Structure 1
Amino acid sequence: MISQVITPKMIDIMDTKSFISDKTANNIYDYEMFGQQVVESCLELETKNDFKRLMSTFETILYDCDGLLNLLSAEDIDDGVRQEIVTEIRQVLQKLQKLGKQVIYTTNTSQLTRDQMHDRLKSAAIETQLDQLFPTSYVCAVYLKAIGFDRQVVAVGSDATVHELTEMGIQCTDLPTHCTPNRKQLGFASFKLNPDVGAVIIANDQYIPLPTLVKACAYASKSDCLTIVTNSDMSDSLIADNCCHKPDIRVVANKGFVSLAKPHYFYWKCIQQKHRDLNVDQCLIITDGLDRDIEFGCNVNIRTLFVKSNTNCLKTTTTTTDQLFYDKLNNNNNTNNCLPVPDYYVDSYSTFNNYI
């Protein structure tokens, strides 16, 4: 069982603060400066012996596949560039598995079920098993099952989340996309709340209809209703393609929420629910992003490996949260901030392939 989450009042304490949120000023960071700080603050893997020593230390790889999944679905990228990156990543993953490493694929998307995620990776000739895949749509179902949740759920913005909840035996309630006007109070709407609903899940969809969002807020404001978000990236300053409506829900509900995505602790606890033998000392996070997965490693005490050059490629070829993040980094001159940095870094997947 996942402990310490019984009532909404307890949840606010457990929500970790994002390292990019500053509500009083636009304190975003300069990418070039941050990049230089990274290479000066962590160990660069430069030789085969470096890789051999590193790989002998870890049994499980938590591979951040957010960038890979976005790359596979991006329409505005040259196919040759895409194929080159995907081939390098696939070769690294295959070599890790040949070394006997357990690979777990992590992602903050709630728009894919595990089956859909499996199929998308398979399209890149990356073979996986369902127990290796952890989209936040599935993590939500794992979390509610682990805490013994036995009420109904309102899931907004993700059919994949509804599917995974249903597969886990958790009943979902639909929210209509319209409200009935209140004839006695102009400007107000009338609707009834289902007393059996005990949780609201807000997924990463910027096109949630306003009436649906209003009803979700009404449920979330109930004292006996959990509020769960599947992705809180860039939460307090931006509503983006894969960011959720967390600020709206939090302001209206006026209480804490559970974030079941990286970099938050509960994402790790849900992985442990399905892989109970995992030891943080034998796990390594591999990521091509400088934001949430590095912080995720810090939050759960797992060491991190940053693949440098792939991030540089992705930031210029995809329209993801990472793209928006790096745009904001590049447009700011404030460098007086302390950010989590990886434990190790390598200059490219190509180098990784040569030395592993």
Structure 2
Amino acid sequence: MAGAFGGFKGCQKIRGPQLRSLMEAKDYFLFDCDGVIWHGEQAVTGAAKVVNALISRGKNVVFVTNNSTRPRESYVHKFFRLGFTGVMLEQIFSSGYCSALYLRDVVKVRGQVFVIGCDGLRRELQEAGIPCVEEEDDPAATIYDCALAPDVKAVLVGHDDKLTFLKLAKASCFLRDPECLFLATDNDPWHPLSGGRILPGSGSLIAALEVASGRKATVIGKPSRFMFECISSQFSGVDPAQCLMVGDRLETDMLFGSNCGLDTMLTLTGVSQLEDAEVYRSSELTANHSLVPDYVVDTIADFLPAFEELDEQIN
């Protein structure tokens, strides 16, 4: 694990002087959104104050989300609507945006992309100049008689709340071509809803296509390193040792931080809880240790007293 706070690292709850020292030591703060910054249309109490205070103190704040359902412009509006007044477009890195960069700048796709995903994902691709298959299927069409778009060079899978069996079947057909890329915005298995219900995530769709195609998808979002490479390419001088990744999911946020050499912080306002992290910490499988956070807070609002202490020192 990265960083210089070995005396109190390793799935340890921190606050007060330790949290203040950590904030002073880091230049970049990477935040997941869902479960950390907000729940749906409700901001986590104190989150806006924390983010605005970090920005006003000259810290670099970046938002790294696997949610590909909305374009970055929509995120800017949501941040402002929920009281995060200083957030700019260039601070937002969604799996949809990074997928567009990957297709345009890394693999330099030359042809159409077949998208399983929401309109927000398509918009990110279109703004990057990536041609998408644009076709409306007849409700009565089946894979036996429908047309298949020509020149499809990649299949990109994200969250799709209008998924049909025909979309899966078409994607499976395109993936029979070994030259056709198989990409996924993220592999989150599920997302929590109110009342104890869950929403299947992109990972469940990927699994279906991996079985049908006999291939493995290249995942662009967390925990892949590519999202951090996107940040590094757009912010000069990013040093992993000066970064803190704050998230609510061990298998994505904490693993992402570990993969990228970042210090990690788990906030208990989302999916994973302290007991989950302790299970991974005591696991005999070394790979599971990469899912253990360096630090734990109940909520990112725990930062607020540290700001107050810093202000008192200045005054």
TM-score of the superposed pair, with normalisation by structure 2: 0.79
Partner of 2:165: 210
1:253 counterpart = 2:213: yes
Partner of 1:293: 253
Distance 1:44 1:70, change over 3 A: closer
Distance 1:219 1:152, change over 3 A: same
CA distance in 2 between partners of 1:175 and 1:280 (Å): 43
Q: For residues 192-271 of structure 1, what are the structure 2 equivalents within 5 Å?
A: 192-234=147-189, 240-244=199-203, 245-271=205-231
CA distance in 2 between partners of 1:288 and 1:158 (Å): 24
| CA contact 2:113–2:154 (8 Å) conserved in 1 | yes
CA distance in 2 between partners of 1:300 and 1:112 (Å): 25
Partner of 1:10: none
Residue 219 of structure 1 and its aligned partner are, at CA, apart by 1.0
Partner of 1:78: none
Partner of 1:28: none
Residue 154 of structure 1 and its aligned partner are, at CA, apart by 1.1
1:140 counterpart = 2:117: no
Residue 198 of structure 1 and its aligned partner are, at CA, apart by 0.7
Q: Secondary structure at the match of 2:216?
A: coil
Partner of 1:45: 14
**Partner amino acid for 1:299?**
N
CA distance in 2 between partners of 1:69 and 1:45 (Å): 19
Residue 131 of structure 1 and its aligned partner are, at CA, apart by 0.7
Partner of 1:66: 34
Partner of 1:11: none
| CA contact 1:206–1:240 (8 Å) conserved in 2 | no
| CA contact 1:142–1:273 (8 Å) conserved in 2 | no
**Partner amino acid for 1:165?**
L
1:108 to 47, 56, 66: 66
CA distance in 1 between partners of 2:258 and 2:11 (Å): 14
Residue 256 of structure 1 and its aligned partner are, at CA, apart by 2.7
Distance 1:227 1:191, change over 3 A: same
| CA contact 1:64–1:288 (8 Å) conserved in 2 | yes
Q: Secondary structure at the match of 1:166?
A: helix
CA distance in 2 between partners of 1:336 and 1:177 (Å): 48
1:56 to 24, 27, 40: 24
**Partner amino acid for 1:258?**
T
1:351 counterpart = 2:302: yes
1:283 counterpart = 2:243: yes
Distance 1:218 1:175, change over 3 A: farther
How high is the sequence identity, in percent, across the aligned residues?
26
| CA contact 1:229–1:246 (8 Å) conserved in 2 | yes
CA distance in 1 between partners of 2:141 and 2:54 (Å): 56
Distance 1:123 1:224, change over 3 A: same
How many residue pairs match? The answer is 279
Deviations 1:193-231 (A, max 9, x none): 434211111111254111121101111221111111112
The unaligned stretches of length 5 or more in structure 1 are 1-38, 74-81, 182-187, 312-321
Q: CA RMSD in A?
A: 2.7
Residue 355 of structure 1 and its aligned partner are, at CA, apart by 1.3
Q: Secondary structure at the match of 2:189?
A: coil
1:96 counterpart = 2:54: yes
Distance 1:69 1:154, change over 3 A: farther
CA distance in 2 between partners of 1:260 and 1:51 (Å): 31
| CA contact 2:36–2:247 (8 Å) conserved in 1 | no
Q: Secondary structure at the match of 2:258?
A: helix
